[in-house]
Amino acid sequence: MPNRIVISKFGGPEVLKYEKYLLPEQIDPNNIRIEQTSIGLNYIDTYHRTGLYPLPDKLPQCLGLEGAGRVVEIGNNVNHIKIGDRVAYASPPLGAYCEIRDFPANKIIKIPDFISNDEVASILLQGMTVEYLFERLYRIKKNEIILFHAAAGGVGLIACQWAKAIGCKMIGTVSTKEKETLAKENGCDYVINYKEQNLVEKVMEITENKGVPVVYDGIGKDTFNKSLDCLQTRGLMVSFGQSSGMVDQVDLHKTFNPKSLYYTRPTLMHYTRNKEELEISSNSLFEKIKSKEIKPNIFKTYNLKDANKAHEELESRKTLGSIILKP
């Protein structure tokens, strides 16, 4: 019997339990069965674990949205994928924290020859996140100055490289000297250590008191108000995560009216709603990897059974890149 990680209650990393499970005897006609080699760890997994984000099914629940592996069986209605193909995914349904699973064939991405399964699992969800943030939600421009929080995290390091490839000037925030060096090495033009420097003052200094047209904020509560202060008139606040917690209740008039600000709370799933959008996003990412404009960065690898330790490290906010789990 294969193994997986499940939660039977919400809580800290200790609620992640390693157990054996039974696969369905028959595969759904529209699904494929994947023998997984690599599983991506993402901050949204911690939101599902704590109950901050609602789960689609009742507990117990296997977590995880991202994985890569080899196709070992296909449903009767599947004709664009064959047994033996290397494939990946970065979307619901949940259940990536396992050795083998069934997954909808229309949400599957074939892995190009120039990238390994581990690399795909470390970058697919985070890379497609940067793609929609920079290319479709708000199209960043050459020589434009933008602000991106957590520039040395998994998403942040990809953002540094993507902005550099476009020629956009990125201001990135970090919390340590080590992360400051890493962000610069990955192409971040201006790095602000928010524990040592005043964020708003530094942004205004860099932009000659103009502010930035867009802020990408995946931190949430700790940075929300300062992010708004960094925006220019009619600027856009992109709140795509909340690693520090949910933002407190906001008075819309007092918060956004003084500078006619825009606000959006996007998710990757709304930018990869169908096969066409999924291919646009993944192909754009793969092209940048092939051209070496984007380089996967696996910070650490954990065994699947040690998923609790991986969650602890992720939530420490001390990671310098992506974490993957190995079945």
CATH code for position 73: 3.90.180.10
Are both 168 and 236 inside the same structural domain?
Answer: yes
Question: Residues of the chain whose pLDDT is less than 70?
Answer: 243-246
Are both 180 and 105 inside the same structural domain?
Answer: no
Q: Which of 57, 68, 118, 113 is nearest to 90 (CA)?
A: 68
- Count of beta carbons in the 10 Å neighbourhood of residue 305: 16
pLDDT tens-digit map of 246-277: 677 777 778 888 899 999 999 999 999 999 99
Q: Chain-centre distance of CA 271, in angstroms?
A: 13
SS3 289: helix
Q: Helices 117-131 & 275-290, crossing angle to 10 degrees?
A: 110
Are both 145 and 183 inside the same structural domain?
Answer: yes
Q: Chain-centre distance of CA 95, in angstroms?
A: 16
The answer to whether residue 238 sits within a structural domain is yes
Are both 51 and 179 inside the same structural domain?
Answer: no
Phi, psi of 296 (to 5 degrees): -60, 145
pLDDT computed for residue 245 by the predictor: 66
The answer to whether residue 287 sits within a structural domain is no
Query: What total of structural domains would you count in the chain?
Result: 2
pTM over 0.85, yes/no: yes
The answer to whether residue 213 sits within a structural domain is yes
pLDDT computed for residue 191 by the predictor: 98
> Is residue 44 a contact partner of residue 91, using CB atoms and an 8 Å limit?
no
Please give the span between the terminal C-alpha atoms of the chain, in angstroms, as a whole number: 13
Q: Which domain holds residue 252?
A: 125-269
Are both 97 and 130 inside the same structural domain?
Answer: no
pLDDT computed for residue 317 by the predictor: 77
Are both 182 and 163 inside the same structural domain?
Answer: yes
Q: Which residues, 6+ apart, have CB-to-CB distance to 234 below 8 Å?
A: 259, 260, 261, 262
DSSP secondary structure letter of residue 239: E
pLDDT computed for residue 248 by the predictor: 74
Greatest extent of the chain over all pairs of C-alpha atoms, in Å:
64
Are both 184 and 265 inside the same structural domain?
Answer: yes
pLDDT computed for residue 319 by the predictor: 82
272, with CB counted inside 10 A (0-12, 13-18, 19+), is buried
CATH of the domain at 178: 3.40.50.720
pLDDT computed for residue 250 by the predictor: 74
Are both 68 and 187 inside the same structural domain?
Answer: no
pLDDT computed for residue 244 by the predictor: 62
